[in-house]
Amino acid sequence: MRSRILRDMKARTAVANNELIRQAYRYITRNETLPARTRHQAQLALNSLPTNTAPVFLRNRCLETGHGSGVFREFRLCRFQFRLKALNGELPGVKKSSW
């Protein structure tokens, strides 16, 4: 496997593992009925979490090649790999159109 793919998989597991904690801190910081001190402490705890656990740092990458641009979200394949697999009939429900 390519290192980009492994790095992407590692980042996605880190995001998934810390998602619940991150959501709880975000809820506390945005809840205006709580005291300001509690909200501030939750914001500091949220800032102290590792940066790679934030979902905004994830990038859609091709599962086959690790290519970072031209990736179809639904299939997680880049344009070229999508075309190859579609022509070979490896993608269910996808066929070449002609009109």
Predicted confidence (pLDDT) per residue in 29-86, tens digit: 999 999 999 999 999 999 999 988 999 989 999 988 889 899 999 999 999 999 999 9
Query: Is residue 64 in some structural domain?
Result: yes
Q: Dihedral, CA atoms, 33, 36, 38, 39, nearest 10 degrees?
A: 80
Rounded to a whole number, what is the largest CA-CA distance in the chain? 64
Query: Is residue 20 in some structural domain?
Result: yes
Query: Is residue 22 in some structural domain?
Result: yes
Distance CA 68, CA 95 (A): 24
Distance of CA 8 to the CA centre of its chain: 8
What CATH number corresponds to the domain at position 85? 4.10.830.10
**pTM score, whole prediction:** 0.75
Determine the structural domain holding residue 65 and report its residue range: 59-92
Give yes or no for a contact between 40 and 46, defined as CB atoms under 8 angstroms apart: no
* 50 lies in the same domain as 64: no
